[in-house]
Amino acid sequence: MPVTGVYFDGQSSKRQSVTLELAQGVLKLNSDSAQFSVPAGELKIAPPLGRAARVIYLPGGAHCEIAQEDFETLFPDQAKALVPLLEQHWPAVAAALVITLAVVAAAYVWGLPYAAEVTAGKIPPAISARLDRQVLANFDEVWFEPSQLPADRRQAISQAFNGLVFPDAGKPGELIFRLSPKLGANAFTFPGGSIVVLDDLVNLADNDQEIIAVLTHEAGHAHDHHAMRQMLQASVVGMVTLWYVGDISHLLSVITTVLLQTRYSREFERNADAFAVTLLHANHLSGLSLAGMLEKLQNQGKDSKLLKQLPAPDSVYKVLNYLSTHPDTDERIKMLRATERP
How many whole angstroms separate alpha carbon 135 and alpha carbon 132? 5
Neighbours of 314 (CB within 10 A): 9
Please indicate, yes or no, whether residues 175 and 318 belong to a single structural domain of this protein: yes
Please indicate, yes or no, whether residues 242 and 329 belong to a single structural domain of this protein: yes
**pLDDT for 9-32, tens place per residue?**
888 778 889 999 988 889 999 988
Please indicate, yes or no, whether residues 296 and 162 belong to a single structural domain of this protein: yes
The answer as to whether 149 is a domain residue is yes
Query: Do the beta carbons of residue 148 and residue 253 sit within 8 Å?
Result: no
| Listed residues 47, 77, 107: the one ending a domain | 77
How many whole angstroms separate alpha carbon 76 and alpha carbon 228? 47
The answer as to whether 82 is a domain residue is no
Tell me, what's the pLDDT at 81?
54
Please indicate, yes or no, whether residues 303 and 235 belong to a single structural domain of this protein: yes
Domain enclosing residue 314, as ranges: 125-338
The answer as to whether 84 is a domain residue is no
How many whole angstroms separate alpha carbon 100 and alpha carbon 60? 37
The answer as to whether 228 is a domain residue is yes
Tell me, what's the pLDDT at 340?
77
Element (H or E) spanning 252, and its range?
helix 251-261
Please indicate, yes or no, whether residues 271 and 311 belong to a single structural domain of this protein: yes
Please indicate, yes or no, whether residues 94 and 131 belong to a single structural domain of this protein: no
Nearest to residue 268, comparing CAs of 205, 198, 338, 324?
Answer: 324
Tell me, what's the pLDDT at 196?
94
How many whole angstroms separate alpha carbon 237 and alpha carbon 256? 14
Please indicate, yes or no, whether residues 16 and 112 belong to a single structural domain of this protein: no
Q: Find the angle CA(112)-CA(118)-CA(119) to the nearest 5 degrees.
A: 85
**pLDDT for 134-180, tens place per residue?**
889 989 998 899 999 999 999 999 999 999 998 775 677 889 999 99
Please indicate, yes or no, whether residues 98 and 130 belong to a single structural domain of this protein: no
Tell me, what's the pLDDT at 324?
40
* DSSP-derived 3-state class of residue 231: helix
Give long-range contacts, CB 8 A cutoff, 24+ apart: 68-75: 70/3, 70/4, 70/5, 71/3, 73/1, 73/3, 74/1, 74/3, 74/20, 74/21, 74/22, 75/22, 75/45
The answer as to whether 13 is a domain residue is yes
The answer as to whether 83 is a domain residue is no
Please indicate, yes or no, whether residues 153 and 301 belong to a single structural domain of this protein: yes
Tell me, what's the pLDDT at 268?
86
Number of domains the chain is built from: 3
pTM (global) more than 0.85: no
| Listed residues 98, 119, 140: the one ending a domain | 119
Please indicate, yes or no, whether residues 221 and 104 belong to a single structural domain of this protein: no
The answer as to whether 104 is a domain residue is yes
The CATH number linked to 26 is 2.30.29
The answer as to whether 31 is a domain residue is yes
Tell me, what's the pLDDT at 303?
45
Please indicate, yes or no, whether residues 132 and 106 belong to a single structural domain of this protein: no
* pLDDT by 10s per residue, the chain, length 342: 789 999 988 887 788 899 999 888 899 999 887 788 999 889 998 877 666 788 999 988 889 999 888 888 888 876 555 555 555 666 776 887 888 888 877 776 777 777 777 777 788 888 888 889 988 998 999 889 999 999 999 999 999 999 999 877 567 788 999 999 888 898 989 988 999 999 999 999 999 999 999 999 999 999 988 888 887 777 665 555 544 444 444 455 555 555 554 556 778 888 999 999 999 999 999 999 999 999 998 887 644 433 333 344 444 334 334 334 445 788 888 888 988 765
Please indicate, yes or no, whether residues 70 and 132 belong to a single structural domain of this protein: no
